[in-house]
C-alpha cells in the first residue's frame, strides 16, 4: 500500500467522530433530578432566546447544543406552549418535545348555568389562574370595553363548552376567544332578525336566557317558562324570579328567605320591574333560543313540583292553590 494512502480514511474517521460528538452529548442528561418545572415558550419567541433560557435554567449543557439538535434534527421547529422539563431529560429529548408540541394543556369546562363564581372555581381547579384574579379581571372596565361588552362584568358572555388552554397565550386572550364565541352566535342573520322583532339586544337576551336557564330543569319547559316572563314583561308585572334574587344576594348555597326577597338589589325582580341588571349565569343555546322564541300561551305563573318539573297557571288564584299544595308537600318531605 502506498505511503499516505490511508490519510483520507483517517480524515473521514476524524470527521465522523467530531460530527457524532454533539449527537452523543445531546443524548446525555444534564443531571439526574426528575422534578419537572414549567418552561413556557411564548408565540413568536426566537429559537436563540429559547436556547439561552434553557441554559439559564440548567436544562441543557449549552445553548449551542440545543440549537444544533433543533436545527439539525427538527429543522428548527418549535411549537409554542408550556413544557414540563427536568434535568434528567437529554437535550435531544427536549428538542423533540418542543418540535412535536408535547406541551401541557389545561381543560376548562363551563357548564350551562355556571355563573362567574362557579367559573372562577373551575378556572382555579383547572390550574389556569387564581380564581380571585379571574374575578377581578372579569370586572375590569378596560378589559370589558376592549371586548365590546356593555356591562360591568363578563357574566353571561362565557359560552358553555369545553375549552383547552395553553400558556403560550395570555389568559385575557383565552377569555376573549370564549367571549367571541357568544358574539358570533348572535351575529347569525336569523338571530339578529328575531332580536329586532322583539326589540331586544344581545345583552337583554342573555339576561333573559340566563333566568330561563336557572328556572327550567327540563328542556321541554324552557319555551313555556320563557312565555311566562315575556307575558309578565308585556303586562308590566314583576318577573318574581327567585334565581335573580339569589344572585343579587350571592346566597348560592342556602334556601331563599323572606329577607332576600325584601332586599334592595339590582337583581331583585320581586321589587323591580323589567329584567335584572344583567345576566345571572352562562345560558345554554337552547335557553337563548327559548328567550327568543317563547311558547304562544297566556300563562303568567308557575311553581315547582319539587321534582324538576313545574305546574303552570293563568290566574293568581290557581297559582296560590298550587303554591300551597307543593310548598306543603315540600315541608312534609323536609321533616
Mean pLDDT rounded to a whole number for the chain? 90
Average pLDDT of the residues in 69-77: 91
Q: What is the pLDDT of residues 302-333, one digit of tens each?
A: 999 988 899 999 999 999 998 888 876 554 33
Residue 21 pLDDT: 57
Average pLDDT of the residues in 157-171: 95
Q: What is the pLDDT of residues 3-12, one digit of tens each?
A: 555 555 444 4
* Residue 74 · residue 95 · CB < 8 Å: yes
Q: What is the pLDDT of residues 265-297, one digit of tens each?
A: 999 999 999 999 999 999 999 999 999 999 999
- Is the per-residue pLDDT at 245 higher than 70? yes
Radius of gyration of the chain (CA): 30
Average pLDDT of the residues in 240-245: 95
DSSP state of 132: H
Please name the residue that has the C-alpha cell 379581571.
Answer: 137
Annotate 41-76 with DSSP letters as a single string.
E-TT--HHHHHHHHHHTTSSS-HHHHHHHHHHHHTT
H-helix or E-strand spanning residue 85: strand 81-85
Q: What is the pLDDT of residues 94-108, one digit of tens each?
A: 999 999 999 999 999
Q: Which domains does the chain have, with CATH numbers?
A: 20-100 (3.30.1490.480), 106-186 (no CATH), 189-299 (no CATH)
Q: Which of 86-90, 160-164, 322-326 has the lowest mean pLDDT?
A: 322-326
- Any bridge partners for residue 164, and if so which? 107
Question: Sign of the CA dihedral 190, 193, 194, 200?
Answer: positive
- Is the per-residue pLDDT at 20 higher than 90? no
- Percent of all residues in the chain with a pLDDT value above 70, rounded to a whole number: 90
- Is the per-residue pLDDT at 205 higher than 50? yes
Residue 187 pLDDT: 94
Residue 176 pLDDT: 96
Residue 239 pLDDT: 97
222-234 vs 285-292: helix crossing angle, rounded to 10? 40
Amino acid at each position: 500500500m502506498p505511503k499516505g494512502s490511508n490519510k483520507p480514511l483517517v480524515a473521514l474517521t476524524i470527521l465522523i467522530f467530531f460530527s457524532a460528538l454533539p449527537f452523543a452529548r445531546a443524548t446525555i442528561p444534564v443531571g439526574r433530578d426528575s422534578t419537572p418545572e414549567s418552561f413556557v415558550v411564548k408565540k413568536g419567541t426566537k429559537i436563540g432566546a429559547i436556547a439561552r433560557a434553557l441554559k439559564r435554567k440548567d436544562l441543557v449543557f449549552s445553548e449551542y447544543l440545543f440549537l444544533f439538535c433543533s436545527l439539525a434534527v427538527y429543522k428548527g421547529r418549535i411549537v409554542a406552549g408550556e413544557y414540563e422539563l427536568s434535568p434528567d431529560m437529554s437535550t435531544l429529548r427536549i428538542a423533540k418535545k418542543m418540535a412535536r408540541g408535547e406541551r401541557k394543556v389545561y381543560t376548562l369546562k363551563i357548564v350551562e348555568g355556571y355563573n362567574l363564581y362557579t367559573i372562577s372555581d373551575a378556572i382555579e381547579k383547572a390550574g389556569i389562574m387564581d380564581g380571585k384574579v379571574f374575578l377581578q379581571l372579569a370586572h375590569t372596565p378596560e378589559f370589558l370595553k376592549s371586548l365590546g361588552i356593555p356591562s360591568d362584568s363578563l357574566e353571561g358572555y362565557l359560552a358553555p363548552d369545553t375549552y383547552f388552554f395553553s400558556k403560550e397565550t395570555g389568559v385575557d386572550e383565552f377569555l376573549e376567544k370564549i367571549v367571541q364565541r357568544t358574539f358570533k352566535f348572535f351575529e347569525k342573520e336569523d338571530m339578529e332578525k328575531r332580536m329586532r322583532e322583539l326589540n331586544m339586544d344581545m345583552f337583554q337576551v342573555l339576561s333573559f336566557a340566563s333566568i330561563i336557564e336557572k328556572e327550567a330543569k327540563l328542556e321541554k319547559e324552557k319555551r313555556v317558562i320563557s312565555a311566562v316572563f315575556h307575558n309578565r314583561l308585556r303586562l308590566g308585572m314583576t318577573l318574581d324570579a327567585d334565581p335573580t334574587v339569589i344572585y343579587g344576594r350571592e346566597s348560592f348555597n342556602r334556601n331563599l328567605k323572606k329577607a332576600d326577597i325584601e332586599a334592595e338589589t339590582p337583581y331583585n325582580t320581586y321589587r323591580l320591574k323589567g329584567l335584572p341588571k344583567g345576566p345571572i349565569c352562562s345560558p345554554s343555546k337552547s335557553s337563548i333560543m327559548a328567550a327568543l322564541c317563547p311558547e304562544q300561551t297566556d300563562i303568567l305563573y308557575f311553581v315547582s313540583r319539587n321534582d324538576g318539573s313545574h305546574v303552570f297557571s293563568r290566574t293568581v288564584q290557581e297559582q296560590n292553590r298550587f303554591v300551597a299544595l307543593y310548598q306543603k308537600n315540600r315541608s312534609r318531605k323536609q321533616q
